[in-house]
Chain A
Amino acid sequence: MPSLFFEDFVERDVKTYGSYTVTEAEILDFARQFDPQPMHLDKAAGAASMLGALAASGWHACAIMQKLMCEAFLLNSSGRGSPGVSEVKWKAPIFPGDVLSLRRTVLESRTSKSKPDMGLVTLKLELLKSTGEVASEETLVILFARRNPGARLA
Chain B
Amino acid sequence: MSYFDDITVGARRTLGTHHFTREEIIAFAQAYDPQSFHVDDEAAKRTHFGDLVASGWHTAACWMKCLVAERTQDAAERTARGEDVPAFGPSPGFKNMRWLKPVYAGDTITYATEVREKVPSKSKPEWGLLMAYNTGTNQHGDLVFDFESIVFVRRRA
Contact = CB atoms under 8 A, between A and B. Distances in A.
A90 B93 contact: yes
A37 B90 CA distance: 10
Contact of A51 (B60, B90, B96, B147): B90
Q: Is the interface of A mostly helix, strand, loop or mixed?
A: mixed
A95 to B, nearest CB: 14
Contacts of A34: 61-62, 64-65
B60 A83 contact: no
A35 B65 contact: yes
Contacts, number: 93
A57 B64 contact: yes
Interface of A: 33-37, 39, 49-51, 57-59, 62-64, 66-67, 70, 74-75, 79-91, 93
Given A51-B90, A67-B33, A84-B96, 8 more contacts: A33-B65, A34-B61, A49-B89, A57-B64, A66-B55, A75-B35, A83-B100, A89-B92
**9 shortest interchain CB distances as A-B pairs:** A63-B32, A84-B98, A34-B61, A89-B93, A85-B97, A67-B32, A88-B93, A59-B61, A66-B33
12 contacts: A34-B65, A35-B61, A36-B68, A51-B90, A58-B90, A58-B91, A59-B64, A67-B32, A70-B33, A80-B48, A84-B96, A88-B93
